[in-house]
């Protein structure tokens, strides 16, 4: 099982600190998105990076719709990584859907987690009666259809929407390449799980100190959603960043590092 998990999730370990800092990537990405952030922590922490099954350099032969048809399959990946490396009291940094995956893992196994950092989290992407997640059902249906019809065109359309920073077009081009590296079939299923999951009822069960980082002008997880998360996780901290777009770890790694360090050192 040991080598299976290490290979399956493409686990990489850097640094020699006493505390472990574990990074979880968002939908459509892999561990490489942390390349501008993770190195800043290797002197002080043991840094662990991994890919969810179906993403990056993971063993895609281990992917099954049965396991990964909900966030709980991805949560189990995270718990498997922790168990394989015998991790406890970890500091977990999750981007986007990984914020919610980390949250679910911390509820099931609170002894594993010392602190949570959520970057651009959303417990539910759809608009509801008294809740504005940012998308209507038709928006998500159109997005999923577009992924199925022409995945590369979908990536080309989505990348600048996600990244913002129009004056820095290289960021959108970089993110488009990240999206295009995915298996289109697996990516579409992961998108469906991400955008249709509703874990709002779980927020109040979090008892781990939590930092919520909210970039400005985030088209995927707007500020009111982070405010909602903040209000429903007892004792959480909310920081609105100067960074724009949904991927501040790519667009503004220095500010992302600063915000994480400030929280971890409290």
Candidate list 55, 96, 106, 122, residue with the active-site label? 96
* Alpha-carbon span 34 to 29, nearest angstrom: 10
**Within 10 Å of residue 231's Cβ, how many Cβ atoms?**
12
Whether 106 is catalytic:
no
Candidate list 30, 51, 80, 218, residue with the active-site label? 218
* Alpha-carbon span 48 to 35, nearest angstrom: 12
Whether 25 is catalytic:
no
Pinpoint the alpha helices (H) of 9-114.
71-84, 97-108
**H or E stretch including 193?**
helix 184-196
Reduce the DSSP state of residue 1 to 3 states and report it. coil
Reduce the DSSP state of residue 183 to 3 states and report it. coil
Whether 249 is catalytic:
no
User: Which residue reads 């979090």 in tokens?
Assistant: 206
**Residues near 4 by Cβ (< 8 Å), separated by ≥ 6?**
none
Candidate list 25, 230, 246, 249, residue with the active-site label? 246
List residues with catalytic annotation.
96, 218, 246
């Amino acid at each position: 099982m040991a080598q299976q998990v290490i290979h399956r999730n493409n686990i990489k370990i850097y640094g020699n600190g006493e505390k472990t800092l574990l990074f979880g990537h968002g939908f459509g990405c892999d561990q490489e998105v942390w390349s501008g952030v993770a190195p800043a922590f290797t002197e002080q922490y043991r840094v662990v990076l991994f890919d969810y099954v179906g993403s990056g350099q993971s063993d895609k032969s281990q992917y099954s719709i049965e396991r990964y048809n909900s966030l709980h399959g991805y949560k189990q990946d995270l718990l498997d990584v922790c168990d394989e490396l015998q991790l406890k009291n970890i500091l977990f940094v999750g981007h986007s859907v990984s914020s919610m995956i980390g949250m679910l893992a911390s509820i099931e196994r609170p002894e594993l987690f010392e602190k949570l950092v959520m970057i651009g989290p959303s417990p539910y992407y759809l608009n509801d009666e008294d809740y504005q997640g940012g998308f209507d059902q038709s928006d998500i249906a159109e997005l999923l259809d577009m992924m199925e019809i022409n995945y590369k065109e979908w990536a080309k359309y989505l990348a600048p929407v996600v990244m913002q920073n129009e004056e820095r077009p290289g960021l959108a081009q970089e993110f488009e390449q990240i999206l295009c590296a995915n298996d289109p079939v697996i990516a579409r299923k992961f998108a469906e799980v991400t955008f249709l999951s509703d874990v709002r009822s779980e927020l109040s069960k979090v008892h781990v100190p939590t930092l919520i980082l909210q970039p400005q002008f985030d088209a995927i997880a707007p500020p009111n959603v982070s405010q909602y998360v903040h209000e429903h996780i007892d004792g959480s901290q909310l920081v609105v960043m100067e960074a724009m777009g949904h991927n501040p770890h790519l667009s503004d790694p220095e500010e992302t590092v600063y915000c994480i360090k400030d929280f971890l050192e409290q």
